[in-house]
Amino acid sequence: MNAAHPLVQNITLTAVAADKRGLASSLNGTLYQAGWAVGGPLTGYLLHWGGYQAVFWGVGLLYLVGTGWFYLFFGRPLKEEGV
């Protein structure tokens, strides 16, 4: 489960032009589900290979990378419209 998904969806749709919001929402949902599809087998492999410690290190690394990407794309202030 990901409690931040609604927040990320809101920020994403705010940053995208109005005519592209449907595509952005669909892409966001598809990529979210792809993570679940890939994550199960990958986690099983990591558990078999290195135990729970490898899984926690792997997830920690992915969260750091995701946080960095999020900051790169959304860390700047939004431009005000009409000013």
pLDDT tens over the chain, length 83 residues = 567 778 888 888 898 999 999 999 999 889 888 988 998 898 888 889 889 998 899 889 989 999 999 888 887 776 766 65
* Residue 79 belongs to some domain of the structure: no
Whether residue 26 is contained in a domain is answered as yes
Task: Report the 10 Å Cβ neighbour count for 63.
Answer: 10
* In-domain check, residue 82: no
The pLDDT of residue 46: 85
Residue 63 lies in a domain: yes
Number of compact structural domains in the chain: 1
Whether the Cβ atoms of residue 11 and residue 23 lie closer than 8 Å to each other: no
pLDDT of residue 64: 96
Q: Is 63 in a helix, a strand, or coil? A: helix
The boundaries of the domain holding residue 13 are 5-74
Residue 81 lies in a domain: no
Q: Do the Cβ atoms of 32 and 40 come closer than 8 Å? A: no
From 32, 28, 34, 35, select the one nearest 14 (Cα to Cα).
28
pTM: 0.53
Residue 60 counted as domain residue: yes
